[in-house]
Structure 1
């Protein structure tokens, strides 16, 4: 039986975890999953894992992270496909009052009143700390805890170690111990696209292609929506 080894970042994981068992049942292909950050530093980024030879056929990560892999010749040319997109939202501890973060000023004031805000060290967190917080003039005035992954940022809030986390909405929807307070205002929103591609040197190209086709098929769209993301490719092809 064919086996596809996947390396995935947090953003698409909620939908993916629901979809993979269905794919395995209908295709007879086994899927083994590892995870890593789309971007950033440290040994657990997807790029670092590929560089040290972690067996991988398919990667699913932010378009920014995939761009870096393509530039490094890690991806089989022409196999990259956008799966879904998602904005950035705010997570609070389960049961805590949900702040209104729907306007730029509200979001800014909430952050200024917050003792600690957790963000992932990957694509969205890099954008928050290098672009948005400086743009809002609060970078020097807030205490930001950067965790390698979105799961870590949500876990800090769940444990009471941070008052709120700012991360892709899809990573809030399936995290334990946190509630979704809302998306940040459209004018400061960061829309991230999550994409899939086949890794250069994969020995399971056909099975990998079938997995990516399944994730872009209309059958996958509902699970993607439920995880807080907007599917990008439903309706293209038959997903067969």
Structure 2
């Protein structure tokens, strides 16, 4: 509804509404995590993963307005509100955990075992952020009265839609029993997130701008996987495993916007 209203508005004199497409790179901070389960009364196991992610290409779309008369709904805002605005930001990128060595511990009938795993996971991340922004203008002229160079800072809540599909294979194992390699189904999660973005917008033309920005997102997604063990492990029943992560996502992107 909000997007439709924004796009349906008439063109303003100073181009204070905009639609922007951007492309860049995303990087996730290394953050170790544990997961494990007790699939039967006689067996418990735990896996500790370093939590190293692959970098990824990120793409997205922004739809926004600044609080001026030419902006959203044409309200007669006070003059000081021209320094503030709001935008919706939708982005998508891969969220793959690279191949890495993970530690494994198992207790079966009171007997302890240890192992090393080759762990990896294929994942995706889509973010819808509701951003409240502040800006300042430099180098004003008759075509762009606010200023052609506009640094800005934005912060807001977001919804982070993620998926993960882990898998691991044993590299080394010491103990009386060997748990088979395990395959997980893909699972998704929707988590509340915090988004912060700072950037520099340059009004190349009255209705066209270039935007270079840096973005940070924080979230704590959690996944519950239904696991089926390999055929060699008769003592492991199908069971569920919960995997909880703390995500620190960083991205840098370059965008081009059309202003209404």
TM-score, length-normalised on structure 2?
0.22
TM-score, length-normalised on structure 1?
0.23
Q: Which has the larger radius of gyration?
A: 2
User: Which structure features the higher share of helix residues?
Assistant: 1
User: Which structure features the higher share of strand residues?
Assistant: 2
